[in-house]
Structure 1
Amino acid sequence: MASTHASSAGEASAARSRPGPHRPPLPVVLRLAARELRGGVRGFAVFLLCLALGVAAIASVGSLARSLTEGLSREGRAILGGDAAFALVHREASADERALLESKGRVSSIATLRAMARAPSGDAALVELKAVDGGWPLVGAAGLDPVVPLGDALAERDGVWGAAVDPALLARLELKPGDRFAIGSADFEVRTRLTSEPDRLSGGVGFGPRVVIGEAALRASGLIQPGSLVRWTYRVALPDGARGDQAVRDLVTAVEREAPDTGFEARSRLNAAPQLERNVGRFTEFLTIVGLAALVVGGVGVANAVSSFVERKRATIAILKSVGASGRTVFLIHLAEVAALGALGTALGLAVGAALPFGAVAALREIVPLPLAPSLYPRELALAFAYGTLTTLAFAVWPLGRAHDVPVAALFREHVAPERRLPRPAYMAATAAFAAGLAALAVFAAYDRRIALIFVAAAIAAFVALRLVAWGIMWGAARLPRPRRIELKLALANIHRPGALTPSVVLSLGLGLVLLVTLTLIDASIRRQIANELPARAPSFFFLDIPSGDRDRFAQLIRQDAPGATMESVPMLRGSFASIKGTPAEELKVDPEYRWALRGDRGVTFAADVPKGSSVVEGEWWPADYAGEPLVSFDEKLGKALGLKIGDEIAVNVLGRAITAKVANFRKIAWETLGINFFMVFSPNAFAGAPYMNLATVSFPGGGSDAQEFALLREATGAFPSITAIRVKDALSSLSEVIGNLALAIRAASGVTLAASVLVLAGALAAGHRRRVYEAVILKTLGATRKRLLSAFAAEYAFLGLITAAFGLAVGSLAAWGVTEGVMGIDFAFDPLGAGLAALGALALTIVLGLAGTWRILGEKPARHLRNM
């Protein structure tokens, strides 16, 4: 080490003799930095791991999401089932509309709806029914087991239609190939198992298992009635040689121009699965924020490692300054070293992030049939590199800048008289600039900038709050009465003395604990809502597609077979926005949070009275006998998001007709009751003479038993085979399973941040190793025993862990309350067990890591260290 010091001093002295001592030649700075790095990267393990972990998380999430979007784009034709698709709700395309589509290319039609499949035993299950014509699928092939020609599998034989059935339905109704079941008024035979559909992703997530039948079978089932909720989709395959992207765009434009009033919902292979892509975007943003949180937490580790690095290099810094090196020279030398190490950690993270999509394809190919297209994506890797670089600089410049103005004498006596001062304004400004750059990058690269801004503000607030907590702990420890026990007295002194570990421990542990408690309590709130509160308030069943003429007969069945149960029903139609205040819906600029309202069709109804669970907050409700121009009532939040005011006009396409209505009032809707309510309620005269179905809920007093509900399900579906029944308990169970899987994925992703917190905590304790050795040697020389020192250190870490755990518990609970009540709109549930375990885990982690770091110190002999002091 002496030769390194001498060589460094020699080059620094030579640099001093050259022009501009305050502007050392860059090659000299780089040579000195390279010579320092020859000694290895000891002490930078946490630095490298923190950077690599955060960068790997961001790079892998970005690369994986990009591989999925690229796969969706590449496989768009197969996913959509053609080059373009045109959908209608409630009605089929007319002969002229069909002829228009057939003039553009080959056409295949499918009809999708929900229905009830009934086994011979009387058991029934909700299914996603797909009726296809002879041209399906235009692209790809259906997976069938056993493999048979699709036409044969769906054909009619002796009055019984064939069906390809999802194995999940066979298990639920205890059926096997060759068995019969009923849908609507038609009988079906299980001819084959349906193992895959080429166009499944384009339809989104369904509520039940899939059953594929022929279009003729659907017409024979009695399920198609005026107002039935059937979605007709017409796929168009362009001729060979005319399938370029521009040809696809021209096809959609031509159909919209030549048939402007049909109400077609158009999609092309260029956006085959928009809902999936939106969900991928949102989940990607969340995971990116988790990765960024890990990187920010890791930044604390960077700052700790750099501070420790400067302390270890004080002898080198002293020699450099004693031979005339300026403070700027010292800063630049060590900045070059830290930047090189930061580049190494970032490169390690990029390598892992780039490789993950390739591993994901191999691991998930058979489990999740997503069209992943792994590759090296320069934009995503460059973004992760920028995050890593800015994090390194934002957290390294401040501690490096402190060495600029520290006099040589202070460096030599720092063990006994440590001097703490703020860096020069230039270094503070540079730190602020790099931090602002990191925040700006997080915001402008985000899928939803509002969420990114919230994250940035929360991160800043957390840093400030934890710094204040650490200062408060030190301030309080300095002013507490001195206890009689020497161990406790020593523990309090260690907490508030100059160079104490308190700020680093509180910051690193606090950030991870806040995140853990927040996620734990959000998960607990959602689960309680699903398991306890929703079932208590929700109806037992939703019944869909009740024909208007059968409503009274259906109500009579409910009174007979479910005495005491309450039934409520409303008319239901489906419509899509055509225009708002004269502007076509597709041209409107709306908050991304509410763009869903303009996509596809929405449920609408009409009513003479204010629906239950709603209250008018602005405007007036129409009279029961109102007969003027059509009026509409809007959900308050949606109406304001669309820029509507009382008196504004909207046009909604329903059953192929554009219904124009004026906004009469806004309602506040209590959605959490799970009663029947709609975003848009029209005055009854708006749909005079239009065919419609009814939507009904049935609620048992005090909640029905499984036996009661299954008995009613068998009777209702047997007597009204065209009606679709959704059992709320089954839906909530499925929802709970989905949320459980999502929560598991979120915990796994958040584990990256928690791992970074543990690394930073370990690094913070390691950073104080030199000072702890010095203190332990002095105390042991004065007669302190290992047991006494161990007790003092344990008390110190326990006190810090306890205060930090209390802070993490309080702030995490507050954050979870804000998310559940303010964002998700559900009741906050405090889970004392989960939150308490998280807090106790943090406390135990602090004590274990702290004692693990000091155990070796306590076993060392004082003599070896005293000789070097």
Structure 2
Amino acid sequence: MHGTLSRPHPRPRRLPASPLILRLAFRELRSGLQGFGIFLACIALGVAAIAGVSSLSRSLTEGIGHEGRRILGGDMAFSLLQREANPAERAFLARAGQVGTVAGLRAMAIAGDKGSALVELKAVDGSYPAVGVLETDPQLAPVDLLAERNGAFGAAADPVLLARLDMKVGDRVTVGDATIEFRASLRSEPDKIASGIGLGPRLLVSQDALAATGLVQPGSLVRWTYRLILPPALATEDGLTRIEAEAGRVLPEAGWSIRTRMNADPRFAKNIERFTQFLTLVGLTALLVGGVGVANAVRGFVDRKRASIATLKSLGAPGGQVVALYLTQVMAMAAIGIVIGLVVGGALPFIVTALFGHLLPIPIEPTLAWGQLGIALLYGLLTALVFALGPLGRAHDIPVSGLFRDQIEPGRAWPRKRYLVALALTVTALVGLAVFAAYDRRIALMFVGAAVASFALLRLVALGIMALARRLPRPRSTGPRLALANIHRPGALTPSLVLSLGLGITLLVTLAVIDTNLSRQLRQTLPERAPSFFFLDIPNARADDFEKFLTQEAPGAQVERVPMMRGRLVTLGGIPVSQVNASEEVSWVLDGDRGITYAAKIPEGSSLVAGEWWPADYRGKPLVSFESKVAEGLGLSLGDDITVNVLGRNITATIANLRQVEWRSLGINFVMVFSPNAFAGAPHTHLATVTFQNGSDAKTDAQILRQAAQTFPMVTSVRVKDALEAVNDIVSQLVMAIRGASSIALVASLLVLAGALAAGHRARLYDAVVLKTLGATRTRLLSAYALEYGILGAASAVFGLLAGTLAAYLIITQVMNLTFALDLSGALLASALAVFVTVGLGLAGTWRILSQKPAQYLRSL
């Protein structure tokens, strides 16, 4: 050996636990995904819902942001209500850039014998459209479309208006004192979103036509918008901010609302965020419901792996490594489901754009929203982990004897402390993500509380059913006796079925009751209690004449008239409104102009809750009465000062009292009612309503509308039934969207139900084998199982009815501020259908079990 010693062979190195676990986990996964179908579907469905909703929202927000200049009609927009800009304000705007003017108001288009129609009149100047393209049919240049020719001003009309008046291009109508000729139908306005949703169809005319109508009088509700096209040096984000700040400094009492292309329509963007949060919570509901399916699938997975677990333990594997091995497999499965959900959700904006992009009235820019997809990824991972830790933690204590003889009775009821701690941390992380990723954290907290309460209550319901079944007398008949024993025996399906079915029925009932109440409010209660007509823009000089006219045309009806102006809140308690931290429910009061009035006595439909009303001859400092809930949301109390800008003047008033207002009657009422001396001499118009005690028919309504339009062409008439139908259409579309989104959660609930039944397959298999060996017939076993599923379904339905009705009550009364009416017709039908599906699914799975041959299973008993 040349004097050298031979080296001993090195000992084989022992692989660290982590690589070994990974090797074993992925080696077992080679056998396929058998038994994980429902698991994957539940995870993929929930993640796809969250990722799709958030991605679509981001695409809409991006579209609005990138198309802000077109939506706004310029780089900046300065809006004034009831007055045009004065010379100083016009000079300021002209120094900043190119100015375009647009005026908007409601008016009546009178078509002679064909009747009249409420229209949203939009008057533009010669520079319109400064950005984007105006599309008409036939396509005409704006100068030809709107010019005065042969004694009539040209206009582009919404096709709805032409259909409503049974007219066509080339026909003429009268608006105020002007003759308007329909020269084209309006196909698309580049700035349609910024104009908002109107009660009537659009009628586009020129500024000269507006002047010829005679509708612009002192106090008329005309919104004047001045749009700026800035030079490139000022069109930057910093430049926009600088001009906005300078406008506030140079013209502090202008009272205009300023928007830039960076926030072309903040109200629309805010509504997108609100609706996105709601749909995200629906998606999270689907994910949580699917989490129950995850738990069922993992429990079934552990049950199938009992022999493998016992084998590993007999070879010396610690319980912790066994749990880590199968947790790795479960999370690998979850990762597959999450990837599927992310792909579907991320592709949704592109699919919507490809299929419906040309139909959408809003710009959408499909994009991969990586931040939102990352949040959906976290939701999926945390949900899978939360619902997998419990069943896997119990696998730690599966005895080695399970290798040698099948056991169907569960062992340890609770996993060890380490797994409970891990579960608590994961639940905390999931709750934290749901709250901090939400637009409105208060609603997110309510959702979390409702979810926790639902899971806890359903668990108690399941335990109560099992305890009751255990204590009931044993029936003599075999079928009922077996059904009762199945409900409370070890390893019973009761907890899983009650949880999955209870959540599904609760969601179904909640949606059904909300839908019923909304329909009732819009179609029954409101039309019976509401006025028949609203009349707007009644000139102050002719208000008495118009009231006499209404009294003659509608004898016996109640006529109510009040002065009306528009004002914009500037400060609350000396604090600028931009710095006021208002609650979400009342923040709309600070957004733009509000209708205001003055009165010597408290308005009908109001009642004082604090303070005193001012004397009829009050002459002191201006006082104001505030709606109590709005005041509370704004942090206002008696004695606080508020400042409103009306017609370019800042007026400060002290809160003298707080009122509770019955808004649902649709009578005349306002958030702010001032003392009469606050607006002495200020130009204003009047608002009137006509209410028939026993309702009115279509013929009477048509006659009043026709006579009012002919006698007072400057007055805008709104038939309340038509307005309610417009609102009902919008609400119906929202309800359909909610139903569509909620169907995802219902599908998840159905999957979970199927998974719960599949998870109990092994225990039911042994039951069937033993009972068939003892002589039980298939018919007798099916009747016993049908009775068991029917009892569990009925108990879950009762819980779902109670919980769903309570949830609907809270949403209707606290969120929507509507009156709740108990109508369970739709809810009962939904519950019965859910119970029928439960029994059907259960029997379908049982039939397959009963077809198994006993011999192969008897050998392992």
What range describes the TM-score normalised by the shorter chain of this pair?
over 0.9
Alignment partner, residue 484 of structure 1: 476
- The answer to whether the 8 Å contact 1:106/1:236 transfers is yes
Give the alignment of 1:596-635 within 5 angstroms: 596-635=588-627
- Residue 251 (1) aligns with residue 243 (2): yes
- 1:416–1:255 Cα change, 3 Å: closer
Note the C-alpha offset of 1:733.
1.3
Which residue is equivalent to 1:649? 641
1:526 alignment partner, one of 497, 508, 518: 518
Amino acid of the structure 2 residue aligned with 1:530: L
Following superposition, the deviation at residue 410 of structure 1 comes to: 5.3
**Partners of 1:783 and 1:56 in 2: how far apart?**
49
CA distance in 1, matches of 2:821, 2:837: 26
How do residues 104-143 of structure 1 correspond to structure 2 at under 5 angstroms? 104-143=96-135
Deviations 1:80-130 (A, max 9, x none): 000000000000001221111111111100000111111121511111110
Q: Where do 1:141-290 residues align within 5 Å?
A: 141-240=133-232, 242-290=234-282
> Are the aligned partners of 1:204 and 1:275 in contact in 2 as well (CA < 8 Å)?
no
Aligned residue type for 1:753:
A
Matched ranges for 1:10-25 at <5 A: 25=17
Q: Out of 797, 800, 807, which is 2:799 matched to?
A: 807
Q: Please, which of 60, 72, 80 is the counterpart of residue 80 of structure 1?
A: 72
User: How many angstroms does 1:772 deviate by?
Assistant: 1.1
1:808-848 residue CA offsets vs partner (Å, 9 max, x unmatched):
11111111112112222222223332011111111101101
**C-alpha distance in 1 between matches for 2:810 and 2:580:** 31
Please, which of 819, 840, 865 is the counterpart of residue 811 of structure 2? Answer: 819
Identify the residue that residue 11 of structure 1 maps to in structure 2.
none
Match of 1:761 in 2: 753
Q: Which is worse superposed, 638-647 or 295-304?
A: 638-647
Tell me the equivalent position of 2:58.
Answer: 66
- Letter of the 1:61 partner, please give it: V
Map of 2:499 onto structure 1: 507
CA-CA distance at 1:302 after TM superposition = 0.6
2:768 corresponds to 1:776: yes
Correspondence for 2:840 among 835, 842, 848: 848
Residue 411 of structure 2 is aligned to residue 431 of structure 1: no
Q: Secondary structure at the match of 1:137?
A: coil
Shift of 1:257: 2.3
- Among 690, 696, 699, the residue aligned to 1:704: 696
Q: Does 2:323 align with 1:323?
A: no
Instruction: Return the alpha-carbon distance in structure 2 between the equivalents of residues 813 and 595 of structure 1.
Output: 29
In structure 2, the residue matched to 1:50 is 42
Instruction: Give secondary structure in 1 for the equivalent of 2:217.
Output: coil
- Which deviations, in whole Å up to 9, do the C-alpha atoms of 1:8-59 show, x marking residues without a partner? xxxxxx99x959xxxx621011111111111111111111100000000000
- Provide structure 1 residue ranges, at least 5 long, that are not aligned to the other structure: 1-13
**1:497 is matched with which residue?**
489
- Counterpart of 1:802, as a letter, is A
Letter paired with 1:564 = G
After TM superposition, the structure 1 stretch with the greater mean CA deviation from structure 2, 255-264 or 642-651, is: 255-264
What is residue 461 of structure 1 aligned with on the other side?
Answer: 453
1:92 to 74, 79, 84: 84
How far has the Cα of 1:868 moved from its partner? 4.8
Pair 1:544-2:536 in alignment = yes
Instruction: Tell me how far 1:616 sits from its aligned partner.
Output: 0.9
| Counterpart residue type for residue 483 of structure 2 | A
Mapped partners of 1:469, 1:403: distance in 2:
26
- Output one character per residue of 1:654-701: Cα deviation in whole Å (capped at 9) or x when no partner: 000000111101111111111100000000000001011001110112
Residue in 1 aligned with 2:711?
719
Question: 1-side partners of 2:629 and 2:345: how far apart?
Answer: 40
Q: Distance between the aligned counterparts of 2:733 and 2:723, measured in 1?
A: 15
CA deviation after TM superposition for structure 1 residue 295, in Å: 0.3
User: Which stretches of structure 1, 4 residues or more, deviate above 6 A after TM superposition?
Assistant: none
Contact 2:564–2:685 (CA under 8 A) maintained in structure 1: yes
Give the TM-score taking structure 1 as reference length: 0.96
2:8 is matched with which residue?
none
CA RMSD of aligned residues (A): 1.4
1:357-368 alignment, distance < 5 Å: 357-368=349-360
| SS of structure 2 residue aligned to 1:345 | helix
The DSSP-based 3-state class of the residue aligned with 2:99 is strand
Q: Which amino acid aligns with 1:109?
A: T
**How many residues are treated as equivalent by the alignment?**
851
In 1, Cα distance between equivalents of 2:679 and 2:114 = 38
Indicate how the Cα distance of structure 1 residues 412 and 504 shifts in structure 2: closer, same or farther if over 3 A, else same.
Answer: farther
Q: Is 1:665 the counterpart of 2:665 in the alignment?
A: no
Q: Give, in angstroms, the shift of residue 414 of structure 1.
A: 5.5
Q: 2:576 aligned with 1:584, yes or no?
A: yes
Distance in structure 2 (CA, Å) of the matches to 1:627 and 1:236? 43
Give the share of equivalent positions with the same residue, in percent: 56
Tell me whether 1:677 sits opposite 2:704 in the alignment. Answer: no
Q: Is the 8 A contact 2:596 2:672 kept in 1?
A: yes
1:353 aligned partner = 345
Q: Distance in 2 between matches of 1:419 and 1:151?
A: 85
Could you tell me which residue of structure 2 aligns to residue 304 of structure 1? 296
- How far did 1:435 drift? 1.1
In the alignment, which residue of structure 2 is the partner of 1:739?
Answer: 731
Distance in 2, matches of 1:627 and 1:789, equals 88
C-alpha deviations, 1:614-648, integer Å up to 9, x for none?
11111111001000010000000111221112111
Contact 2:383/2:430 (CA < 8 Å) preserved in 1? yes
Partners of 1:157 and 1:609 lie apart in 2 by 51
Match of 1:6 in 2: none
Match of residue 22 from structure 2: 30
- Separation in 1 of the partners of 2:170 and 2:23? 80
Shift of 1:732: 1.1
Shift of the alpha carbon at 1:530? 1.2
Distance 1:682 1:510 in 2: 52
Cα gap change, 1:623 to 1:488, in 2 (>3 Å): same
1:751, distance to aligned residue in structure 2 (A): 0.3
Work out the CA distance in 2 between the residues paired with 1:711 and 1:753: 50
Contact 1:118 1:183 in 2 (8 A): yes
Q: Secondary structure at the match of 1:128?
A: strand
Q: Report which stretch shifted further, 779-788 or 398-407.
A: 398-407
1:445 alignment counterpart: 437
401-410 vs 774-783, which moves further:
401-410
Query: 1:364: Cα distance to partner?
Result: 1.5
Q: Distance in 2 between matches of 1:195 and 1:798?
A: 56
Instruction: Decide whether aligned partners of structure 1 residues 498 and 605 sit closer, same or farther in structure 2, where only a CA change above 3 A counts.
Output: same
Number of the residue aligned with 2:363: 371
1:423-481 per-position Cα deviation (integer Å, ceiling 9, x unaligned):
11111111111111111111110011111010000000000010001111111111111
After superposition, the C-alpha distances for 1:254-309 in whole angstroms (9 at most, x for unaligned) are 22222222111100000001111111111100000000000000010111111111
Say if 2:331 is the partner of 1:339: yes
Amino acid aligned to 1:630: P
**Do the aligned residues in 1 keep the contact of 2:382 with 2:430 (CA within 8 Å)?**
yes
Query: 1:494-547, CA deviations, whole angstroms, 9 ceiling, x for partnerless residues?
Result: 111000011001101111110110011011011111111111110000100111
Q: Bigger CA drift: 103-112 or 817-826? A: 817-826
Q: For each residue in 1:331-355, what CA deviation from the matched residue of structure 2 results, as whole angstroms up to 9, or x when unmatched?
A: 1111111111111111110010011
Q: Distance in 1 between matches of 2:824 and 2:242?
A: 59
Q: Contact 1:524/1:830 (CA < 8 Å) preserved in 2?
A: no
